[in-house]
Amino acid sequence: MNDEMDMEEEGGVVKQFMFVNRKAPYGTIYALEGLEVVLISAAFEQDVSMAFIDDGVYELKKGQDTKSLGQKNFSPTYRALEGYDIEKLYVERESMEARGLTEEDLLVDVVVLDRAEMAAKMDEQDVLISF
């Protein structure tokens, strides 16, 4: 309800928002609650992107199985982001390689940037929110 009212008040301001994901998906709640903010942000018609660095790259790993953890596997949500017009997903090459992952291991299409390129991308943003 409040969110809907907020939307109408923004009056066409479009900022570049980048959500920076740095944590593994299940050791803490940051990834899950971070994703909730990203989904809400889609309703505000901003220029939204997501960055995955450090253990955050594990959030996008294919084949997550959380049954023995007793927690919900929320990784399919990353596949749904496209439907929210959130299509700019950046993964840091150094973080991915340090964890023995390649693009083939990820469950969505991403743009891989090296650390310096990621820093430049962050520098372009109006709002950075990191989880």
Partner 1 sequence: MKIGVLVNEGPYTHEASDSAYNFTKAALEKGHEIYRVFFYHDGVNNSTRLTEPPRDDRNIVNRWSELSKQYSLDLVVCIAAAQRRGIMDENEAKRQGKDANNLAEGFRISGLGQLVEAGIQSDRLVTFGD
Residues that bind partner 1 (CB under 8 A): 1-4, 6-7, 9-10, 13, 15, 17, 29-30, 33, 36-37, 40-41, 43-44, 46, 126-131
CB of 78 to partner 1, least distance (A): 18
Report the candidate in 58, 23, 50, 59 with the shortest Cα–Cα distance to residue 128.
50
Q: Which is nearer to partner 1, 32 or 112 (CB)?
A: 32
At closest approach, how far in Å is the CB of 115 from partner 1?
Answer: 20
For the CB of residue 65, give the shortest distance to partner 1 in the complex, in Å: 23
CA dist 9 and 57 (Å) reads 35
Integer Cα distance of 38 and 40 in angstroms: 5
CB of 124 to partner 1, least distance (A): 15
What single string gives the DSSP state of each residue in 23-37? S-TTTSSHHHHHHHH
Judged by beta carbon, residue 98 or residue 128, the one nearer partner 1 is 128
Of residues 119, 101, 14, 109, the one with CA closest to residue 55: 101
Q: What are phi and psi of 99, to 5 degrees?
A: -105, 15
